[in-house]
Amino acid sequence: MAKETDPSLNSYLVLVEQLLNEQTNILAHAKENLQQFTLCLDDLEQLSNRNIQLLEYIRHCQRLYEQLKTNEEALQLNQEHLQSIVGSLDDVVWSIVPQTGDILYINHATETVYGRPIDDFLDNINLWHEVIYPDDQQRVQESQQLIYKTGRQEIEYRILWPDQSIHWIRVRSHLIKDVQGNPTRIDGLTTEITEQREIQEQLRHDTLHDNLTGLPNRTLLMDRIEQGLKRCQRDENRRFALLFLDVDGFKLINDTLGHLTGDQLLIILSRRLSQCLRAEDTLSRLSGDEFVILLENLTHIDEGILIADRIHDSLKEPILLHNEEIVISVSIGIVLGGEQSVYQEGDQVAELLRDADTAMYQAKADGPGTSKVFEPSMHNQTIQRLQVTNDLQRAIERQEFVVYYQPIISLESDHIDGFEALVRWQHQEQGLISPIDFIPIAEQTEAILKIDHWVLRHACTQLGLWQQKFPNLKPLTISVNLSSKHLSQPGLIEILDEILAETGLTGTSLKLEITESFLMEQSRTVLDMIEQIKERNIQLCLDDFGTGYSSLSYLDCFPFNILKIDRSFIKRLAGETDKCEIIKAIVDLAVTLNMKVVAEGIETNVQRDKLKALNCSYGQGYGFFPPLDSHSVSRLLEEQNTTIR
């Protein structure tokens, strides 16, 4: 028999089954929820990543903010520093709108550079242009327009301050454009350069002007001559003249009175020359004591000669310097140009100046205080003079000189008292050359010093030989000419001592002949040298008395032993009716001062007799003897020695 199921068990099973179903449903539902949760978890994970990124971005923004804040503070600090630097600059820093000129920025240096308050420029934008010096306004305006092509511009110009004083500025500007190339502003820097320009102008002036007299120098003169020649090319009726001036005897003045006095004399001379000229003329100091005057736009070609005469007249008035009156003269060479002038090219400046210099030397050869107009033949003479100068140097080296001796006769006894040593040049090609053809040229160089020394030594040696050979004769003397250039040679006294010692002569046997130009200035140097000469008992002769700077003060200040009357006075004694008051006055003066008188250039018995009647002590000339060589003099002395015996 089937066993009957326990209802409680079934119920339990049913319950269990129900519970299982419920649990299954719950599990299914839980699974479903779990799946949904898993999805949610995925979403949450994604959301968390985004939050992290957002957080990082926020932190990055915070860092940027902090950095920006720091940069802003640094920028503010830098801007303050920049403002401080710009504000302390001496230059004007500015920025303007290109088209309108409105000021975008300007610093306080404006007041220093322009001499005006900044507000003046802010209230009047045209003031920048109004303060420009009138002569510079057009040039500045052209420069301002050029910046739109070049982008940068630099210009220097003058401005006027409120007190109308002129100042120089340098403006450097820069055009700023946007990305499309349109001008947005102009930035600039303005610097005052007044002092710099003044220094530049002074340097330029110094470069073109003589620092002693302030006159144009050679460089500026050459430029003005060149421009003048070009103007003559354009206008065939234009006339000009060039005057080349040289102060007569200036080296003697410089050597005796000193370079400082010489400089002061040149300054005074330049002022006096300026007073003789027109405002348009150019007076230039070429070098030393040489001046050149350019006369342009002459109405007549002879005006150049008239101005030269005016200069000579102006110098007749003595120059007062250190409470002493000094009379000077100039030799002037003149070149005339204009109608059919040979000077037509601008590059003939040197040639023009050379010809004026040549004419000046011709004038100097005619005597102090004269003028000479250039002639083409003078150029050949200059070449010859240059050749003589070169030959002289070689002649000194080769000792091509010989000494001739002209007897000096006692008019009382008709016996030979002494000789004057006269140098001749025995040229290897031209033969015997007279001193008149080379001594003036030697005087212009240092050659005369060497020639004088040679003649002095040679003549003293020869006199010593004659004194030994003819002891019965009255002690003979030798007269030697001495150039004024020896004033600047402190070794002259030592040379005299050396020659006297070598030849065995006493000082009384030697006579030094000096011209009046030697004594033109009574300087301490001259007085000391004369005193030392006198201490050696060497006699002093004043040569060519009455032809140079004759002054009785020379006879009072310098202890001369002998006066030599120039031959130009002796020529007047040609006939019985000739007047001789001047010679008589000279002789009487010499006698009063206990001086002897020697007459030069005696050619006739009439002249000799008249001079003897006037108590003239000695004479020389062709009326007695011409200059003789040493052998002829020896024979002459032999005859005189025989007569005495």
Q: Return d(Cα 479, Cα 535) in angstroms, integer.
A: 18
With respect to residue 87, please indicate whether it lies within any of the assigned structural domains.
Answer: no
The arithmetic mean of pLDDT across residues 467-488, rounded, is 85
DSSP β-ladder status, 416-427 and 401-410: antiparallel
Q: Which of 174, 199, 224 is the last residue of a domain?
A: 199
With respect to residue 78, please indicate whether it lies within any of the assigned structural domains.
Answer: no
pLDDT score of 552: 58
Is the domain of 215 the same as that of 185?
Answer: no
Q: Return d(Cα 291, Cα 364) in angstroms, integer.
A: 14
> Are 251 and 521 in contact, with CB atoms under 8 Å apart?
no
> Greater confidence, 9 or 374?
374
Among 32-36, 320-324, 373-377, 555-559, the range scoring the smallest mean pLDDT is: 32-36
Host domain of residue 526: 410-421+448-644
Angle among Cα 79, 85, 89 to the nearest 5 degrees reads: 145
What SS3 class is residue 104?
strand
Is the domain of 179 the same as that of 238?
Answer: no
Of 312, 277, 309, residue with least CA distance to 295: 277
CA 130 to chain centre: 41
Is the domain of 151 the same as that of 241?
Answer: no
Of 244, 314, 328, 247, residue with least CA distance to 286: 244
With respect to residue 185, please indicate whether it lies within any of the assigned structural domains.
Answer: yes
pLDDT score of 74: 63
Domain count within the chain: 3
Q: Return d(Cα 581, Cα 328) in angstroms, integer.
A: 29
Is the domain of 579 the same as that of 601?
Answer: yes
With respect to residue 518, please indicate whether it lies within any of the assigned structural domains.
Answer: yes
- In tens, the pLDDT along 243-279 reads 999 999 887 787 767 788 889 999 999 999 999 999 8
Please state, in angstroms and as integers, the Cα–Cα distance from residue 426 to each residue in 392, 433, 447, 448, 449, following that order: 11, 6, 16, 16, 18
What SS3 class is residue 540?
strand
Is the domain of 216 the same as that of 193?
Answer: no
Q: Which amino acid is at 446?
A: E
| Residue 546: band (very low, low, confident or very high) from pLDDT cuts 50, 70, 90 | low
| Residue 375: band (very low, low, confident or very high) from pLDDT cuts 50, 70, 90 | confident
What is the Rg, in whole angstroms, of the alpha carbon atoms belonging to the chain? 53
Is the domain of 241 the same as that of 190?
Answer: no
> Are 193 and 171 in contact, with CB atoms under 8 Å apart?
no
Angle among Cα 259, 262, 266 to the nearest 5 degrees reads: 135
End-to-end CA distance of the chain: 227
With respect to residue 60, please indicate whether it lies within any of the assigned structural domains.
Answer: no
Residues 6+ apart with CB under 8 A from 467: 475, 476, 505, 509
Torsional class of 386: left (φ above 0), alpha (ψ -120 to 50), beta (otherwise): alpha
> Are 418 and 476 in contact, with CB atoms under 8 Å apart?
yes
Residue appearing with tokens 């802003």? 72
With respect to residue 379, please indicate whether it lies within any of the assigned structural domains.
Answer: no
**Residue 337, phi then psi, degrees to nearest 5:** -135, 150
Contacts of 206-210 with C-beta under 8 Å, sequence gap 24+, read 210/284, 210/285
The arithmetic mean of pLDDT across residues 136-161, rounded, is 91
* DSSP output for 339-390: TT-S--SGGGHHHHHHHHHHHHHHHHHH-TT-EEE--HHHHHHHHHHHHHHH
Is the domain of 319 the same as that of 345?
Answer: yes
Q: Where are the alpha helices (DSSP H) in 470-604?
A: 492-503, 524-535, 552-557, 567-570, 581-592
With respect to residue 83, please indicate whether it lies within any of the assigned structural domains.
Answer: no
- pLDDT exceeds cutoff 90 at 473: no
| Residue 3: band (very low, low, confident or very high) from pLDDT cuts 50, 70, 90 | very low
Is the domain of 352 the same as that of 469?
Answer: no
- In tens, the pLDDT along 161-193 reads 999 999 999 999 999 998 888 999 999 999 999
The domain spanning residue 193 has which CATH number? 3.30.450.20
| Residue 444: band (very low, low, confident or very high) from pLDDT cuts 50, 70, 90 | confident
Residue appearing with tokens 């003036």? 440
Is the domain of 242 the same as that of 154?
Answer: no
- In tens, the pLDDT along 432-442 reads 888 888 888 88
Q: Give the containing element (helix H, strand E) for 190.
A: strand 183-192
The domain spanning residue 603 has which CATH number? 3.20.20.450
DSSP state of 132: B
| Residue 7: band (very low, low, confident or very high) from pLDDT cuts 50, 70, 90 | very low
pLDDT score of 441: 84
| Bridge partners, residue 291, by sequence | 245, 285
| Residue 156: band (very low, low, confident or very high) from pLDDT cuts 50, 70, 90 | very high
With respect to residue 502, please indicate whether it lies within any of the assigned structural domains.
Answer: yes
Is the domain of 213 the same as that of 192?
Answer: no
Is the domain of 153 the same as that of 280?
Answer: no
Q: Which of 149, 170, 199 is the last residue of a domain?
A: 199
* Residues present in the chain in total: 645
Q: Return d(Cα 197, Cα 199) in angstroms, integer.
A: 5
| Bridge partners, residue 427, by sequence | 431
The arithmetic mean of pLDDT across residues 122-146, rounded, is 91
Q: Which of 168, 199, 230 is the last residue of a domain?
A: 199
- In tens, the pLDDT along 484-540 reads 777 667 788 999 999 999 999 999 999 999 876 666 545 566 778 888 888 999 999
* DSSP output for 44-85: HHHHHHHHHHHHHHHHHHHHHHHHHHHHHHHHHHHHHHHHHH
The proportion of the chain whose per-residue pLDDT surpasses 90, expressed as a percent, equals 35
| Bridge partners, residue 416, by sequence | 409
The arithmetic mean of pLDDT across residues 627-634, rounded, is 94
Residue appearing with tokens 């210009």? 155
| Residue 78: band (very low, low, confident or very high) from pLDDT cuts 50, 70, 90 | low
> Are 334 and 374 in contact, with CB atoms under 8 Å apart?
yes
Is the domain of 340 the same as that of 415?
Answer: no
